[in-house]
Structure 1
Amino acid sequence: MFNPSQADVRRFFCGAFAKQQTGQPMEAIETLAAQWIAEHPEYHPALGDVDKAVADVGQPGDGSRENPFLHLSMHLSISEQCSIDQPPGIRQAVELLTARRGDLHKAHHEVMECLGQMIMESQRAGRPPDGQAYIQAVRQRATKD
């Protein structure tokens, strides 16, 4: 299993952004990353300087802004979960939420909240992530006003 470091993740996203900006050929995962990067122009400055991005690994933030690398990683994770329907039922739940919101990007942001909650609860309780609770949380968002 591939286990990239924080620096590897930052290099990956910066590299995908650079390839997108210069029209270079990309691997499929880079193309998907570039699509999510395009949805977040506010992250372009952070993605434009790989040396600074890598140098900032492990530096405490001031809490006033979100981590663009974590945010984009979550978009990729959700996209991958949906592509392989793992945990089973996530694809349908995200599709329902997307239809309800009328926008995949907005739906992803809501799914991120559910994913983050599941991870936090798993870590707090010292148990494996509860995929069914995650899917149920996404479905609840898809069925309420």
Structure 2
Amino acid sequence: MTPDRRAMRQPFLDAWQKFQQHLPLTPIELAVSDIIREHPEYHALFADPERALSQDWPPEHGETNPFLHLGLHLSIREMAQIDQPHGFKAAYLQRCERHGDRLAAEHAMMDCLAESLWQAQRRGAEPDGAALLDCLNNF
């Protein structure tokens, strides 16, 4: 495991541990712990930090990386909060209304966001906000 991967996963574990211990949380830790709380299927993983830090979830095995999944939730919520790209908040609220709950709406939006990030990485450029909104509006 690379130090970068460990460094990216550790804040999720720290936020969950602080939440479990009823310690004060920063705003980002509160957001992260809320998302983890909403995903009980990951609670056993977060109870075993060393496994969480070292385990791989290769997509070719049909496994979802919990940290990627939780990070996409966090990104979607932040993007909706700041309406970036412009129009994202409206798309988010429409999805929430259509699905009846924000978690289901976020799950429905993840493929578009992941595709947008993947395309940006392939191009070596910033994510295309217009393409993301098109995906969300046509999905």
| TM-score normalised to structure 1 length | 0.83
Q: Which amino acid aligns with 2:52?
A: A
Identity across the alignment (%)? 37
Partner of 1:139: 137
The separation in 2 between residues aligned to 1:24 and 1:127, in whole angstroms, is 39
Partner of 2:16: 17
Q: Does 1:34 align with 2:33?
A: yes
Partner of 1:6: 5
- CA drift at 1:140: 2.7
The separation in 2 between residues aligned to 1:120 and 1:32, in whole angstroms, is 24
* Structure 1: gaps spanning 5 or more residues: none
The higher-RCO structure (CA 8 Å, 6+ apart) is: 1
Q: Which amino acid aligns with 1:49?
A: D
- CA drift at 1:109: 0.8
| TM-score normalised to structure 2 length | 0.86
Q: Does 1:79 align with 2:91?
A: no
Cα pair 2:80 2:88 within 8 Å, conserved: yes
- Count, aligned residues: 136
How big is each residue's C-alpha offset from its partner over 1:31-57, in whole Å with a ceiling of 9 and x where there is no partner? 11111101111111221222222233x
- CA drift at 1:60: 6.2
Q: CA RMSD in A?
A: 2.0
How big is each residue's C-alpha offset from its partner over 1:65-87, in whole Å with a ceiling of 9 and x where there is no partner? 21111111111111111111111
The separation in 2 between residues aligned to 1:94 and 1:136, in whole angstroms, is 13
Cα pair 2:57 2:63 within 8 Å, conserved: no
